[in-house]
Amino acid sequence: MTIISLFADLFALLTILICLLHCCGANYEVQSVAGSGNVLSAKLKLVGGTEEFRPDVKRLNLTATLETDNRLYMRITDADRSRWEVPRDVIPRPAPAPEDVWLHSSGLSNASLPGNSTMSSASSDLTFTIHTAPFRFTVSRRSTGDVLFDTSATLIFKNRYLEVTSALPAMGASLYGLGEQTKRKFRLQQNDTFTIWNEDVGRADILDINLYSSHPFYMDVRPGGAAHGVLLLNTNGMDIKYGGSYITYKVIGGVFDFYFFAGRSPLTVVDQYTQLIGRPAPMPYWSFGFHQSRYGYKNVADLEGVVAGYTKAKIPLESIWSDIDYMDGGQDFTLDPVNFPANLLRPFVDLLHNNSQKYVVIIDPAIEKEAAPPQNESVGLFLQRNGTNYVGRVWPGEVYYPDFMSPHAAEYWAQKISEFRRTIPADGLWCDMNEPSNFKDWEPLNEYDDSPYRINNTGIHRNLNNKTVPVSAVHFNGVSEYDAHNLYGLLESRATHDALLKDTARRPFVLSRATFVSSGRYTAHWTGDNDGRWEQLAQSINTILNFGLFGIPMMGADICGFTGNTTEELCSRWIQLGAFYPFARAHAEKTTARRELYVWESTAQSARKALGMRYRLLPYIYTLMYEAHTTGSPIARPLFFSYPQDADTYAVDRQFLLGRGLLVSPVLEPGATTVDAYFPAGRWFSLHGRSPAISLQTGKRVMLPAPADSANVHLAGGNILPLQQPGLTTSAARQSEFHLLVALAENGTASGELFLDDGESPEMGGVGGNWTLVRFSCNTEDRKGIITTTVSSHVVQNSYAPSRTLVISKVAFMGLPSSPKGFTVDVNGAELKAARTKSRTNGVFTVSGLSLVIGQQFEIKVVTSH
């Protein structure tokens, strides 16, 4: 036995002992094991047990299935009774292996069981092992032997309490994900506890408590950059404790439905994860513009004044949003007859559309009781309790809650949306309060209203019914709210997305506060009710990066803060960061001082610069949306996604990447004149052109100047960015000429791509669709001091008509040797003698006067002599 293996065995033993201290004592023994192909099953029998949290389930079935080469599914459930599981019509996925696997396989009884039974495949890197003495299971990486998940010998499975613990390498695992919570750090910290339960609570209230969304998924990055993912697909409330050397799940219902994703790169993990839960929905092009909202816009004239203020200040504005102010008494699908009458609001919206701008309104998942269909006509429409429609209370007063599990409710919702849009043709819908929120006190009805184990709801173990509908309420087909609570926001998002698609035949835009696993298929998300404080500015990065892992790349925070009176400096710094959120919206609470970006001149200056750059980057950002829709990759990414072998990137959470190589290093503290930024190895070029390239052999922290009006943005060598000219709307910007920015790596190479379509067709990049995809590449050859740098394009598809007329007028190179003795430029084999060129000391070399059609392949050669 080697020293290393001895320490490994001691560590495993120590971890099991630690886990036993955290568990409350039930054990199962393996009665029999059976295997067939990529399926391994076991029957488990209770030995011991405890009455804490009610009696244990006596017999369990375990089934592990290698569903793909990169995805392993492991299910443990009651052998004798069916239990609540996430419906497959909500999250489509393969069904569990049939019980008759036992009839078509060689089973082993307890008397003849080996010490362990293993399932593996030559084409997969995942191995699943059932250990019999005592029972536990492990998931490991076949190529390296690295153990990814290793349960303790204690498994608890009761009617409404489940517990399992996995050991983790004490010094070798960096975990990310689990949420939604406001966290100080992106990487999980030892003794972090995550409560999974959708709750209406302001993000500004406190750190480390459960918020609007539930995502029991994490990514584990090991030394060297190998990553894997783990999902517990369960909608019931739970506490997840990360102890550094272990992770414990305490769940109040359902089953253990674990999915393991092999990776090995972080991007590959997200790809595999979204293959299961569904790819992110494509967002319309206009949604990548800047949006302005406020709870408290008084009337139509107030909206008109805001739009005029942005126009006068020459700050881009894509859409104006209305909070509940537009409603009559807070009722969905109504208009305030005094302040937002149809005869004033409709012409305003029509004028927005004539100016290529948009209008978005809020809707809450509550129908005012008196406006709802009568009880005898509303069967299947609303949540039930004690045999009748449950009556809650939110903004309009007494309300019914649509039961989005019911197809009748989805149809009713679509009808109401369509009817409203006949009056006011809103371009997008904002689903708020959909945890769902409830202001009404409740009386206990049955056992569901008091769970035997209280999860740490809102950080103080509040009852599950806090500020929501009672968990004893009942959905379609008798499903309890206790089980389905965390699905409500997802189901409303799906119904709203489908309603908009049906009504407009265009790509929907939906923004939802409450989300669950797979919500990204239908909706964008934002961080909710944040506060105008510096720490919330910094913490927004963690949340946005987290939701990229969760398959919801269209993510942002309320720029300048929702509550509290922000300062001019904070608002300026926030738009410098927020302009690079995937979803960029300013939103504020009605009692706060007005903070539109034109209110302070210094903020307006920051907004013009930051949003000007955002609008130039729109072709790149939209191409990232295509990448997200087809591979699940986040738009905003942590640095380790591109540099997984650089362990120093694992803790970086005050910077982030857009795509693979655009590094944003914002100011996150008051009075700062510098930013301490981390740069991985390679070349980095400032997009503001205010400093020479940073060239590093290894990663290093660099102190950057922090001008008052802009954030630091750097492009990694090896990338080609497609750019257009800024405009006050996305429509104006996307009609302008293209530029290519070529940032050369040390070896003189670079690559990039450009996706184009009409920005509103329901599908993005689908078979037979009208879209164009162009890939750009650059190579450099040095022959005795004659350096030839060649940029070429490869047209993958060219069915989007405007790509046959849109042109690239300029190509800028960053990283060419400076001060050449001479140069020539060839375009498609012909020397371009009339090109306007210039070389700067920081190595930028520009070729202008071009007219290269996007949809036609081209080649540019820059030949320099030195």
Contact assessment for residue 240 and residue 249, using Cβ atoms and an 8 Å cutoff: yes
**How many C-beta atoms lie closer than 10 Å to residue 145's C-beta?**
9
Q: What is the 3-state secondary structure (H, E, C) of 493-562?
A: HHHHHHHHHHHHCCCCCEEECCCECCHHHCCEEECCCCECCHHHHHHHHHHHHHHHHCCCCCEECEECCC
The single residue of 328, 432, 558, 589 carrying the catalytic annotation is 432
Q: At what angle do helices 618-631 and 601-616 cross, to 10 degrees?
A: 60
Q: Which amino acid is at 613?
A: M
Residue 432 annotated in active site: yes
The single residue of 125, 403, 492, 529 carrying the catalytic annotation is 529
Query: Following CA atoms 410, 411, 414, 420 in sequence, which dihedral angle do they give, to the nearest 10 degrees?
Result: -120
Q: Give 374's contacts (C-beta < 8 A, 6+ positions apart).
A: none
Contact assessment for residue 392 and residue 398, using Cβ atoms and an 8 Å cutoff: yes
Taking the C-alpha atoms of residue 149 and residue 64, their distance in angstroms, rounded to an integer, is 14
Q: Closest Cα to residue 581, out of 549, 543, 529?
A: 543
Residue 435 annotated in active site: yes
DSSP H or E run through 321: strand 319-322
Query: Following CA atoms 347, 348, 353, 356 in sequence, which dihedral angle do they give, to the nearest 10 degrees?
Result: 150
Residue 529 annotated in active site: yes
Tell me the two tokens of residue 620: 């790149």
Q: What are the two backbone dihedrals, phi and then psi, of residue 570, each rounded to the nearest 5 degrees?
A: -65, -45
DSSP H or E run through 344: helix 342-354
Greatest distance between any 2 Cα atoms in the chain: 88
**How many C-beta atoms lie closer than 10 Å to residue 354's C-beta?**
8
Q: What are the two backbone dihedrals, phi and then psi, of residue 712, each rounded to the nearest 5 degrees?
A: -80, 130
Please report the DSSP string for 187-251 in residue order: S--TTEEEEE------TTT-SSS--S-BEEEEEEE-TTS-EEEEEE---S-EEEEE-SSEEEEEE
Order the strands of the 555-556 sheet from edge to edge: 555-556, 524-526, 510-512, 428-431, 358-363, 319-322, 290-292, 584-586, 558-559
Taking the C-alpha atoms of residue 745 and residue 748, their distance in angstroms, rounded to an integer, is 5
The single residue of 318, 427, 435, 589 carrying the catalytic annotation is 435
Taking the C-alpha atoms of residue 111 and residue 283, their distance in angstroms, rounded to an integer, is 58
Backbone dihedral region of 582: left (phi > 0), alpha (psi from -120 to 50 degrees) or beta? alpha
Please report the DSSP string for 42-90 in residue order: EEEEEES---TTSPBPSEEEEEEEEEETTEEEEEEEESSS------TTT
Q: Closest Cα to residue 27, out of 63, 56, 61?
A: 56
> DSSP strand E in 106-173: where?
108-109, 116-119, 126-132, 135-141, 147-151, 156-157, 162-167
Quote the Cα angle for 218-574-712, to 5°. Answer: 85
Q: Sign of the CA dihedral 247, 251, 254, 255?
A: positive
Taking the C-alpha atoms of residue 791 and residue 418, their distance in angstroms, rounded to an integer, is 49
Q: Closest Cα to residue 213, out of 435, 377, 468, 411?
A: 435
User: Which residues are tagged catalytic?
Assistant: 432, 435, 529
